[in-house]
Every structure is written in structure tokens, then in C-alpha cells.
Amino acid sequence: MSSKSKFKNVKGTRDILPEEAIRWQKIENIIRKKMEQYNFQEVRFPTFEATDLFRKSTGESTDIVRKEMFTFEDMGGRSLTLKPEGTPSVVRMFLQHGLFNKGALQKFYYIERMFRQERPQKGRYREFRQFGAEVIGSSSAESDVELVKSALDIFNELDIKDVELNINSIGCPRCRKNFIKEFKGFLKEKLSGLCEDCNRRYAENPMRILDCKRDKKKIKGAPVPSDFLCDECKEHFEEFKNRLDFLNIKFNIDNRLVRGLDYYTKTVFEFVNSNLGSQNEVGGGGRYDELIKFMGGEDTPASGYAVGIDRLMLLLKEEEEKLGVDVYIVTFDEESDAEGWKILNGLRDAGFSCDKDPMRRTVKAQFREADRQNAKWVIIIGEDERKRGIVQLKNMGKGEQKEIPMKTGKIVKELKC
Ligand SMILES: [Zn+2]
Ligand SMILES: [Zn+2]
């Protein structure tokens, strides 16, 4: 077959072929298992939302909204956007469906595709996959630690080492005001030397200047939010750290860590892995006590995080994943093929993964296929077997071959022992 098709997947997207899909399934199974151990409940949400949802919740001044969203108009002229992150949709669902009526505390998780127009680079795609969790209704630092631990457990289970946890507190709107005032004062004279983005941020979202990669050196010695925490925020951060200590979770305090999104309060954290090079972030999150009220709900505390699964994939040990069926059926002639087909369906009904050749290729080709599929067992049926009312059952691992009556029930019994 020619491979000269002019069609290729679009830049920033990826195809996941069968062997790799096995790895994805494993990761997703681990995520689900862990999330359920933590009693997070799965939610799924639409691929696109009204653009205003992200404008409002993610924030007009963020890079995501300013330059990374895939936004388009539908035929009715409504502006829609492919979801660039999960939290706005989870909060929308929470409000729209009145989930607050179901209990004061709600714990959600998701595994979803997200879309951002970033410059594609290693492990960064324009369509990418994230898992995340949100705890809505709890203001407790215990919930923040629970979130952090759930992510670390997943990394652990995937045998991904060297994930570092950076934490910080960016305070609440009350104490942040004092920080912003001092910070702006500090920046005033330096502003003309800072990058264009920081000049814009100065007016819109000055806190973000703290994590500008370009201007890092120029703002050395700048005041940081944690110097200005009110008693409540201080206490919250202490409890967060104490509980991490209690669980023996190591962390670094990075007093310049601020998340890129406008609605974060108090706890912020990120997971980094130095093996990823300069773009070392695996995921992160924090508390967003202001968002739900801001979106029109009751004053409701919340926190959450998201982790890029594509990034995690880069950190997984290379293991060769093999396709595999339990049983492959090889037949010698047309009548045997009919018998084989019955057994095929019987075995599938009995819960085995099972396949045969639908094209009646040569016996040699069928054995080759059994091999390619890493079949644990091969059932062989020819004229002789048919006449004797048996099948040959070959255990491929042991190389042993047995004759079994040509009855699905008997075969199943043999496969199970
Ligand atoms: Zn505060
Ligand atoms: Zn800058």
C-alpha cells in the first residue's frame, strides 16, 4: 500500500497507535483506581463551551485566554472555544446542575482532552490530555493535601520518580492587596526594563510578573505574597505544610510560585521533574476560593489540580507493550473454518479475547498472525480433527499441545485450568 497520502495529522496533535494505546489504557486505569480510592467522582464535560466561560473564569489577562484558545463561531454567530482547561467546566457544571444541593462537599475527577494553541514542543501538544481533581466546598488545608497526595500516588504507581513538589501561598484578596501595593512600588522604576508582557501585567495582573522567566533576574529581591499573609492565610499555609510533613511528603517552598490563572487563593503548588528539561512542569494546582462566587454561585471554597498525561508519558520507563489475545483459531479448510467461527463466538461469550482470520488465508499466514497477536493459546482445526470431533489446543508458552473435544464448554474448561 502506498504511504504517499497527502493527509497528515495536524501540527500539535498526535496519533496513538495500538501499542502506545496499551500504555494509555494502563495510565488511565491507574488514575481511575487511585481517584476512586480517594472518593473523587468522575465527571465528563463537553469539548467546547461558550467562550465567555473561559474569559470570565480563566481570566482575560491570562496567556491562555489572550493567545492560546481555539475560538470559533458557530452558524448562529455564537463564540465557542475548545476547552483549554478543566476547572471552568467543572465549576459551570457544579452551578448549572445545582450540585451544591447534593452536599456541602463534592469531589470530582476527570480525564479529558484540552486544546491550546501553544508552540508545539516536546511533550506539549495543541490537543493534549489531562487528568485533574477538584474538591468543592472545603476550605480546609486537609483537602489541599489530599489533592497533592492523590497526584503523588498516581506518579508513584506509574513508577515515575523524581517528581518534586513546589508550594507557596499567594494569600487571599484581603492580604494580597498589601502585597500588590508594595510590589507595584518596587516595580515602578524597573518597569521600562521589563518585557512587554510584564508591562501589560503591571496593570492587569501584576502578581504574574513574579513568574516571568525573562525578567527573573531583574526583579530579584522583589517582595513576595508570602511576606504579606494575614493570620488566616498564614495559619492555613502552616497547616498545609504540617500535614505534608505528617505524610512525609517532601516539598520546596518557592515564594515566587504563582499560578497563571486569576482565581487562585492561598495554596498553590506545582509538580516538576527535571528530566523534562526547561519546560519541567508536569502539573499543578491550588486553591480557588474566589471563583465560584465570581461565577455567580454562593461563596464556596474549592481547590484542585491538573496534570498533563502527555508529559507523564515522557517520564514513563520505555517498556515494550505487546498486543495480545488469549486465543487464536487456525483452520485448514472451509468446513473447519465454520466450526472455528462457532468456537470463536463461544469463547468471546465466555469472556476470552479471541480472534481468527476472516479472510481464509493460508494456514501459514494464520499462524503468522497468531504469532503477531501474541496468542497465549492456538486452537487448530482441520479435516482430521473434525472427523474425530476434537480440536488441537496448543499452549504457546509451554509449547504443549492437547486434544480437546470440539465443544466450547470443554475448551473453556481447559483454558481456565
Ligand atoms: Zn489572607
Ligand atoms: Zn516579563
* Span 184-238, pLDDT tens digits: 999 998 999 999 989 988 988 899 899 888 898 889 889 999 999 999 999 999 9
User: What spacing in Å lies between the alpha carbon of 208 and ligand 1's midpoint?
Assistant: 18
User: What spacing in Å lies between the alpha carbon of 172 and ligand 2's midpoint?
Assistant: 24
- pLDDT of the residue at 338: 96
User: What spacing in Å lies between the alpha carbon of 309 and ligand 2's midpoint?
Assistant: 28
User: What spacing in Å lies between the alpha carbon of 130 and ligand 2's midpoint?
Assistant: 27
Phi-psi region of 254 (alpha: psi -120 to 50; beta: other; left: phi over 0): beta
User: What spacing in Å lies between the alpha carbon of 186 and ligand 2's midpoint?
Assistant: 15
Q: Tens digit of pLDDT for each residue in 284-320?
A: 999 999 999 999 999 999 999 999 999 898 888 777 7
User: What spacing in Å lies between the alpha carbon of 185 and ligand 2's midpoint?
Assistant: 16
- pLDDT of the residue at 195: 93
Closest ligand, as measured to the CA of 206: 2
Map residue 355 onto helix, strand or coil. Answer: strand
The residue among 369, 295, 378 whose CA lies nearest residue 94 is: 295
User: What spacing in Å lies between the alpha carbon of 258 and ligand 1's midpoint?
Assistant: 15
Closest ligand, as measured to the CA of 219: 2
User: What spacing in Å lies between the alpha carbon of 207 and ligand 1's midpoint?
Assistant: 15
298: cell is 454562593
Closest ligand, as measured to the CA of 234: 1
Closest ligand, as measured to the CA of 193: 2
- pLDDT of the residue at 42: 97
User: What spacing in Å lies between the alpha carbon of 234 and ligand 1's midpoint?
Assistant: 7
Cα separation, 391 vs 336, in Å, equals 10
- pLDDT of the residue at 1: 59
pTM of the model: 0.90
User: What spacing in Å lies between the alpha carbon of 226 and ligand 1's midpoint?
Assistant: 9
Closest ligand, as measured to the CA of 174: 1
Rg (CA), the chain: 28
User: What spacing in Å lies between the alpha carbon of 175 and ligand 1's midpoint?
Assistant: 4
Q: DSSP H helical segments within 350-407, as ranges? A: 363-372, 383-388
213: cell is 522567566
- pLDDT of the residue at 260: 62
Q: How many CA atoms lie within 13 A of 3 on its CB side?
A: 0
Closest ligand, as measured to the CA of 200: 2
The residue among 183, 59, 187, 64 whose CA lies nearest residue 195 is: 187
Closest ligand, as measured to the CA of 194: 2
Phi, psi of 300 (to 5 degrees): -135, 120
User: What spacing in Å lies between the alpha carbon of 195 and ligand 2's midpoint?
Assistant: 4
Phi-psi region of 171 (alpha: psi -120 to 50; beta: other; left: phi over 0): left
User: What spacing in Å lies between the alpha carbon of 230 and ligand 1's midpoint?
Assistant: 4
Do the strands 302-308 and 79-82 form a parallel or antiparallel pair, or are they unpaired? unpaired
Closest ligand, as measured to the CA of 233: 1
User: What spacing in Å lies between the alpha carbon of 192 and ligand 2's midpoint?
Assistant: 11
Closest ligand, as measured to the CA of 175: 1
Which residue's entry shows cell 489577562? 61
Helix (H) or strand (E) holding 373, with range, is: none
User: What spacing in Å lies between the alpha carbon of 277 and ligand 2's midpoint?
Assistant: 21
Which residue ranges of the chain lie beneath pLDDT 50? none
**Is-contact 166 252, C-beta < 8 A?**
yes
Closest ligand, as measured to the CA of 195: 2
Q: How far, CA to CA in Å, does 205 sit from each of 258, 262, 357?
A: 11, 8, 62
Map residue 101 onto helix, strand or coil. Answer: helix
Closest ligand, as measured to the CA of 228: 1
